[in-house]
């Protein structure tokens, strides 16, 4: 995928190559405010003020990301440097000059972190290390060094909603180790009239079936809004919030220029009631298949206001980092399959808390 993000005085242009190479058209605004056109055949256009400056007026000087060409790399298939048939970081490094020649400004790497690869690397076992078949931290540092030499920026995928169940955090949480007891969303579940154990409620995962999985060792259910091997981190726990900020800072320290944030709308779930019960989600009426995610309206598990606040905090972290360490603005690109009124909150508005996320996309 490539996209261009080219705001002019009153215009943001957004194009996208899908898997067949089709380039989606650029939407132009008609009312003097920046406009985004989304891709994948579900072109959606909406107005967005304050993308480039204060008071709803365009800033006179463009920042780098406003005229950048981003190039996504899926490390596994991009370039193999050692002949084992698997793409790797050294392979990417060897092709950076080619990307530079193409006119690319920044490369966005799909997840490179240690992972059992249950979900193409979006199940992270160690947020602070590299998947061995892709290389080492030293290889990563060399990649950033070479990118810098060429004037290219490196963007990483940031996957905040969940980890792998093979992450040490999860293993410690299963064992109720001190400090990790509430790192994930645990619940006893209930007994039905037949005395059988049943999940806490009707929530469904994004793939198929219940979002709750029984853990024999801990004797509780854990929530996984995605696959069974992707337990949701508990964002109600300040230690988790702090830990994920450490992840961002760690990679900023290694020289990345920002993050593409995965699956943002799922970060927070609604709070349980005073008895500890999480509410059932209502039926959508879209399908009769009770295991299909679209069977329910996800009013308690997606698009919560707390999630927007979390993204605001990450944006602030990146801005603070730039203030302290200098350099160009670090970008935050968020993935959100959400209603437009919710998506707009990520961009911010003319309020002091305007977020100014640099781009939102659904792929």
**CB closer to Ca ion, 65 vs 259:** 259
CB of 331 vs Ca ion, minimal distance in Å = 23
Binding residue count for Ca ion, defined by CB under 5 A = 8
Question: Site mask, Ca ion, residues 204-233, x = CB under 5 A?
Answer: ----------------------------x-
Rg (CA), the chain: 21
Piece of the chain touching Ca ion by CB under 5 A; list 93-101, 116-124, 160-168, 315-323? 160-168
Handedness of CA 263, 14, 347, 298 (dihedral sign): negative
Q: Which of 88, 165, 262, 303 binds Ca ion (CB under 5 A)?
A: 88
Q: Which of 6, 86, 117, 354 binds Ca ion (CB under 5 A)?
A: 86
Instruction: Answer yes or no whether residue 79 interacts with Ca ion by CB under 5 A.
Output: no
CB of 225 vs Ca ion, minimal distance in Å = 5
Angle at 356 between CA 340 and CA 143, to 5 degrees: 110
Which tokens belong to 144? 């950033």
216 catalytically annotated: no
E strand or H helix at 143: helix 137-150
Instruction: Answer yes or no whether residue 361 interacts with Ca ion by CB under 5 A.
Output: no
Report the DSSP pairing between strands 197-198 and 126-130.
Answer: unpaired
Instruction: Answer yes or no whether residue 84 interacts with Ca ion by CB under 5 A.
Output: yes
HSE-CB of 100 using CA atoms within 13 angstroms: 15
Piece of the chain touching Ca ion by CB under 5 A; list 31-39, 75-83, 236-244, 332-340? 75-83
CB of 183 vs Ca ion, minimal distance in Å = 12
**CB closer to Ca ion, 224 vs 358:** 224
- DSSP state, residue 328: S
Please tell me which residue in 63, 146, 182, 335 is annotated as part of the active site: 335
CB of 56 vs Ca ion, minimal distance in Å = 33
How does 31-48 read in b/e, with b if 16+ C-beta sit within 10 Å? eebbbbbbbeeeeeebeb
- In the range 19-58, which residues lie near Ca ion by CB under 5 A? none
CB of 266 vs Ca ion, minimal distance in Å = 5
Report the DSSP pairing between strands 2-5 and 68-73.
Answer: antiparallel
**CB closer to Ca ion, 51 vs 241:** 241
Query: DSSP string covering 291-308, please?
Result: TBGGGB--TTTSS-HHHH
**CB closer to Ca ion, 84 vs 273:** 84
Q: Contact at 8 Å (CB) between 293 and 204?
A: yes
**CB closer to Ca ion, 161 vs 167:** 161
Question: Site mask, Ca ion, residues 252-291, x = CB under 5 A?
Answer: --------------x-------------------------
Give the count of beta carbons closer than 10 Å to the beta carbon of residue 94: 14
Please tell me which residue in 27, 123, 165, 262 is annotated as part of the active site: 262
Q: How far apart are alpha carbons 341 and 349 in whole angstroms?
A: 12
Helices (H), 225-328: 238-253, 305-325
Which tokens belong to 233? 């981190």
335 catalytically annotated: yes
Which tokens belong to 227? 């696959």
Residues with active-site annotation: 262, 335
Q: Which residues bind Ca ion (CB under 5 A)?
A: 80, 82, 84, 86, 88, 161, 232, 266
């Amino acid at each position: 995928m490539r996209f261009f993000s080219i705001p002019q005085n009153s215009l943001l242009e957004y194009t996208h190559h899908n898997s067949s190479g089709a380039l989606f058209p650029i939407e132009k605004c008609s009312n003097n405010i920046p406009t985004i056109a989304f891709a994948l055949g579900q072109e959606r256009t909406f107005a967005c003020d304050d993308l480039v400056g204060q008071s709803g007026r365009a800033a006179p000087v463009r920042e780098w990301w406003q005229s950048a060409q981003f190039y996504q790399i899926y490390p596994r298939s991009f370039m193999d440097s050692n002949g084992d048939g698997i793409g790797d970081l050294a392979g990417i490094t060897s092709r950076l000059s080619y990307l530079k020649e193409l006119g690319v400004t920044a490369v966005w790497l799909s997840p490179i972190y240690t992972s059992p690869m249950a979900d193409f690397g979006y199940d992270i076992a160690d947020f602070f290390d590299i998947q061995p078949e892709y290389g080492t931290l030293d290889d990563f540092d060399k990649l950033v060094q070479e990118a810098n030499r060429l004037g290219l920026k490196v963007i990483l995928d940031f996957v905040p909603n969940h980890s792998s169940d093979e992450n040490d955090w999860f293993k410690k949480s299963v064992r109720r180790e001190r400090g990790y007891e509430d790192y994930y969303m645990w619940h006893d579940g209930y007994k039905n009239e037949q005395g059988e154990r049943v999940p806490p409620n009707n929530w469904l995962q994004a793939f198929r079936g219940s979002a709750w999985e029984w853990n024999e060792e801990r004797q509780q259910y854990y929530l996984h809004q995605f696959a069974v091997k992707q337990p949701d981190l508990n964002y109600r726990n300040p230690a988790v919030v702090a830990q994920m900020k450490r992840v961002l800072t760690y990679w900023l320290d290694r020289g990345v220029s920002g993050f593409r944030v995965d699956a943002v709308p799922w970060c927070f779930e609604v709070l349980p009631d005073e008895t500890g019960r999480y509410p059932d989600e209502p039926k959508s009426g879209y399908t009769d298949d009770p295991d299909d995610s679209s069977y329910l309206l996800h009013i308690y598990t997606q698009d919560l206001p707390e999630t927007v606040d979390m993204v605001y905090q990450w944006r602030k972290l990146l801005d603070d980092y730039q203030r302290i360490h200098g350099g160009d603005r670090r970008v935050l690109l968020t993935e959100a399959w959400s209603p437009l009124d919710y998506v707009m909150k990520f961009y911010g508005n003319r309020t002091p808390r305007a977020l100014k996320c640099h781009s939102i996309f659904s792929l």
